[in-house]
Amino acid sequence: MSETLLHEIVSARTEVVTRIAAAAKGAGRDQASVALVAVSKVQPDERIDAMLATGQRIYGENRVQEAEARWTLRRAAYPDLELRLIGPLQSNKAREAVALFDVIETLDRTKLAIALADASAKEGRTPRLYVQVNTGEEEQKAGVAPQDADAFIAAMRRDYGFAIEGLMCIPPAEEPAGPHFALLAKIAARNGVAKLSMGMSADYEIAVMFGATSVRVGSALFGARSTAP
């Protein structure tokens, strides 16, 4: 691993961690209550290994097969890794996802819940689960509609015995993120859901002000992705 690359990655991470700490302090929150999820999709191996060398242990991926290729061997080398699926999951990939990921942040439909329950029984492990909420009600975006969230969370608990750990959202790119983060926090509070996955490179400090317990940061940590996600 080149010294220059390592230096670049160390300083990028230090800056993000410092900004999270400042945002947390400004919001009267404990810095330790915000987890940094390094979004490693599409990044080259040398950048992943440099990030691992900084001590960063929580990573987010948005595709099951790509994540398997990147993490299966590294997982054995770093037993304290935490892998989170933050992209849409097809039911027919549920088994692979349950085998690999510690957290699945994109539960948003009954068919997927059934597949995850089945896969968890077969694999003998249940990932921690987040419900994705489509706060901007965008056609093309995954997630349950805000007005359906309460009933969906209740059904997940009642019908599948899932302990819903958190909620996740991806606000519309062209809108201010704050109102979307506030909406997600409100839905979580009224449903007794503890964790909030919100905020990306462009808006993670705002997310921390609105109560994010994890932020998903890719390009601000690794540099721009060379291929589309």
Ligand X SMILES: *Cc1c(COP(=O)(O)O)cnc(C)c1O
User: Among residues 106, 110, 1, 122, which one has the least CA distance to residue 64?
Assistant: 106
The one-character DSSP state at 133 is B
Q: Of the listed pieces 12-20, 118-126, 184-192, 217-225, which binds ligand X according to CB under 6 A? A: 217-225
Rounded CA gap, 96 and 34, in Å? 28
Measured from the CB atom, the residue of 145 and 151 that comes closer to ligand X is 145
Enumerate the H helices of 91-177 as residue ranges.
94-100, 110-123, 149-160
Q: Which of residues 54-83 bind ligand X (CB under 6 A)?
A: 62
User: Among residues 170, 182, 204, 223, which one has the least CA distance to residue 19?
Assistant: 204
Q: Of the listed pieces 17-25, 96-104, 113-121, 211-219, which binds ligand X according to CB under 6 A? A: 211-219
Measured from the CB atom, the residue of 117 and 132 that comes closer to ligand X is 132
Q: Of the listed pieces 10-18, 65-73, 75-83, 218-226, which binds ligand X according to CB under 6 A? A: 218-226
Please work out the total of residues on this chain that contact ligand X, with binding judged by CB under 6 A: 15
Give the CA distances from residue 169 to residues 4, 59, 89, 138, 199, in Å, rounded to whole numbers and listed in that order. Answer: 35, 17, 15, 12, 8
Q: Is 171 in the site for ligand X (CB under 6 A)?
A: no
> Contacting ligand X (CB under 6 A), which of 26, 161, 176, 229?
229
Q: Where are the beta strands (DSSP E) in 156-207?
A: 164-168, 195-197
Q: Is 180 in the site for ligand X (CB under 6 A)?
A: no
Q: Which residues bind ligand X (CB under 6 A)?
A: 39, 41, 62, 86-87, 170, 200-202, 216-220, 229
